[in-house]
Structure 1
């Protein structure tokens, strides 16, 4: 079990500083140019023949803004690549391409095989990225878990959960579920993984029985897995930095999929000319090249990004900006009282105080008590005093609700 002493979860301020060292080289200008050209071809095809209800729905999707979350965009790219590969199966081609009678059709058939090979490679890179990233997160979590039955239970639960998820996907595919249905299920499962992590961090839900055994699990780990995917948490910095290029790639691959869908239904009346064929081929090459470059880049960034940083580093970077922090000078002989609302179980109360040293003996006294909603008072920390030779003292108290508020730990 790795030590978490003095560590806190990564903060958005820290990631902002960290990501400054990893700027993503801009996408090729060809991405926007070719995306625009593909959009023009889609418009030509709809003028040739009005879109069906299903086609209109796909066009609407292509015109919408991509999802905000990085991983949701990854799943969306993977889905569109699967749809393109489905369309590029020779058995799905228009008859003129399956049995080419002209040199132009034969050339286009050969070009489509190259397009399929490029998409296949990009999909392989996508799956590898998702698998490695998921394994890395879980491995890091397990590194900080006590190396005893608790870690074993969580690992077994994860393995059982993943087997059940795969069985659910297999059953859907076997019953004739579409690629769209499959990816809707895969994203639902991904969100379930997030909920399970958050439940572990909050000690609720499916982990309620297990949590009674979690004494010894570092609080910093539970805090990390509870907070990491918050909408305005650390990952929002990642979305703002690296989301825009990924959003452009999501729109591009969606447009390629829509274009092929419309083209196959109209190929007998709308054959591509040489320039349009080259456009489709170039779009596929640029998309797959830029997508693989993005995945390679983001994999390196994730692999080098820490999950935990020192409390001192977090302080320097303003990690306390969302905490309630007050500073007050208490004059000699005066009393100062602070009332704090406790928002949830496992809350922390912290104070840091110092005494001026000099010829005059000085000390300071304090106590902590809990007042329930009904006004009942419970003494948490009895009144105690610190002498002047204790130049600085700091204490962090964790409060745990169990048959009334009681003191659980004190660090200081």
Structure 2
């Protein structure tokens, strides 16, 4: 686990100085000019032949492909080329999203204690990513459009941000998962909790580089609108060569500039400081969270803790050590775990063994209570000072997300 000692989360003020070193090159004037021309062409065409409800590009394209005139063949060839370029950009966008999400997640995990918490969080994320890919595959198999895929990818990216923020706010399944055992740096929790805030650290990036992305998005929406309207009224009037030239130029500009934008943001993102010194940040909350308990186990006695499990695949986890006594002797203590069913039947889960300290966990396969027992009954003279923390961690499942309007 990397240390965050002496560090504080990035602030907008600090990021402003950092981003000053990375000015975004301006987009060509043609970007907005072409979007405006395509919108104007679409408006004129829609006035002549409004689009019928439920009309889709796919059916119109199939009809166009069945035509045999050289002019139609040329149009089909142009549309195929445009489709290939847009699909290629969509693939690059998917890769860009996954790479940036991985970068943030791996950075966060670098500062997480390397124990069962990290394992569970990684497993949860792997399941989440598999589910997201299955959603995309299902959409493609069902014939979803590029627009549908863009909408789904955006929704999934927002879900990743919500899941990440849950680590910092310790909500849902992460409440016990992250808070269990001291070791998660508070500065890390502060960072990931505020990452999605309207005035959080990423807002500086959005304000600086967002307008260019919005401009490119307007261009691709204008491209899609023109394609839809022009094909919808193709039977009434052929697409003019000058108009198709405008469309082709718009697609070239969009794909070229969007690729440049993602490459630029990728470089900025890789070098973005997630943490800075407390001196640079101005102040750091040095408060530490320590939820260990301490108890004295007299000679000849035991100490028991009972944890209740209400969901299968929960984790019983513990971390304990013995505090050194006055005689500076190396001491140990017996420890075992047993399950108590709702009917009162006892089953040994972790066999008895003597430890100086131990940290471990196991996945439950039965509901009921789990009793953790520290045994000092074999000692005739020496008490044991036990410092421990235990918890029953709920199964890691996908958090329920509110429906998003796209």
1:160-175 superposed matches below 5 A: 160-170=127-137
Cα 1:262–1:20 shift into 2, 3 Å: same
Deviation at 1:264, TM superposition (A): 1.6
TM-score norm. by structure 2 comes to: 0.65
Q: Distance in 1 between matches of 2:193 and 2:100?
A: 18
Q: Distance in 2 between matches of 1:251 and 1:198?
A: 29
Secondary structure of the 1:107 match is: helix
The answer for the alignment partner of 1:379 in structure 2 is: none
Cα 1:169–1:278 shift into 2, 3 Å: closer
Cα 1:116–1:231 shift into 2, 3 Å: same
Deviation at 1:400, TM superposition (A): 7.5
Q: Distance in 2 between matches of 1:147 and 1:311?
A: 25
Q: Distance in 2 between matches of 1:178 and 1:293?
A: 24
Secondary structure of the 1:204 match is: coil
Q: Distance in 2 between matches of 1:232 and 1:31?
A: 29
The answer for the alignment partner of 1:144 in structure 2 is: 111
* Aligned partners of 2:61 and 2:231 also within 8 Å: yes
1:14-33 superposed matches below 5 A: 14-33=14-33
* Aligned partners of 1:10 and 1:307 also within 8 Å: yes
* Aligned partners of 2:90 and 2:150 also within 8 Å: no
Deviation at 1:113, TM superposition (A): 2.8
Q: In the alignment, is residue 196 of structure 1 matched against residue 163 of structure 2? A: yes
* Aligned partners of 1:7 and 1:309 also within 8 Å: yes
**Aligned match of 1:93 in 61, 80, 99?**
61
Deviation at 1:42, TM superposition (A): 0.3
1:241-260 superposed matches below 5 A: 241-260=208-227
1:306-317 superposed matches below 5 A: 306-315=273-282
Q: Cα deviation per residue 1:383-407 (whole Å; 9 max; x = unaligned)?
A: xxxxxxxxxxxxx44578999xxxx
For structure 2, the residue ranges without an aligned partner over 5 or more in a row are 294-406
The answer for the alignment partner of 2:186 in structure 1 is: 219
For structure 1, the residue ranges without an aligned partner over 5 or more in a row are 56-85, 324-347, 349-395, 404-412
Q: In the alignment, is residue 281 of structure 1 matched against residue 245 of structure 2? A: no
Deviation at 1:174, TM superposition (A): 5.8
The answer for the alignment partner of 2:203 in structure 1 is: 236
The answer for the alignment partner of 2:375 in structure 1 is: none
Q: Distance in 2 between matches of 1:98 and 1:239?
A: 46
Q: Distance in 2 between matches of 1:110 and 1:171?
A: 28
Deviation at 1:267, TM superposition (A): 0.5
* Aligned partners of 2:31 and 2:253 also within 8 Å: yes
The answer for the alignment partner of 1:71 in structure 2 is: none
Cα 1:190–1:111 shift into 2, 3 Å: closer
* Aligned partners of 1:201 and 1:222 also within 8 Å: yes
The answer for the alignment partner of 2:76 in structure 1 is: 109
The structure in which a higher percent of residues are strand is 2
* Aligned partners of 1:203 and 1:211 also within 8 Å: yes
Cα 1:200–1:174 shift into 2, 3 Å: same
Secondary structure of the 2:8 match is: strand
Deviation at 1:92, TM superposition (A): 5.2
Deviation at 1:96, TM superposition (A): 4.0
Secondary structure of the 1:93 match is: helix
Q: Cα deviation per residue 1:180-231 (whole Å; 9 max; x = unaligned)?
A: 6665554444333322222211222121231342410111111111011111
The structure in which a higher percent of residues are helix is 1
TM-score norm. by structure 1 comes to: 0.64
Cα 1:268–1:94 shift into 2, 3 Å: farther
* Aligned partners of 2:7 and 2:187 also within 8 Å: yes
After TM superposition, the structure 1 stretch with the greater mean CA deviation from structure 2, 253-262 or 118-127, is: 118-127
Q: Distance in 2 between matches of 1:284 and 1:188?
A: 25
Deviation at 1:153, TM superposition (A): 1.5
Q: Distance in 1 between matches of 2:26 and 2:179?
A: 49
Cα 1:290–1:279 shift into 2, 3 Å: same
Q: Supply the RMSD in Å over aligned alpha carbons.
A: 2.8
Cα 1:178–1:136 shift into 2, 3 Å: same
How many residue pairs align between the two structures?
293
Cα 1:203–1:311 shift into 2, 3 Å: same
Deviation at 1:54, TM superposition (A): 6.0
The answer for the alignment partner of 1:36 in structure 2 is: 36
Q: Distance in 2 between matches of 1:398 and 1:145?
A: 15
Cα 1:278–1:297 shift into 2, 3 Å: same
**Aligned match of 2:232 in 252, 261, 265?**
265
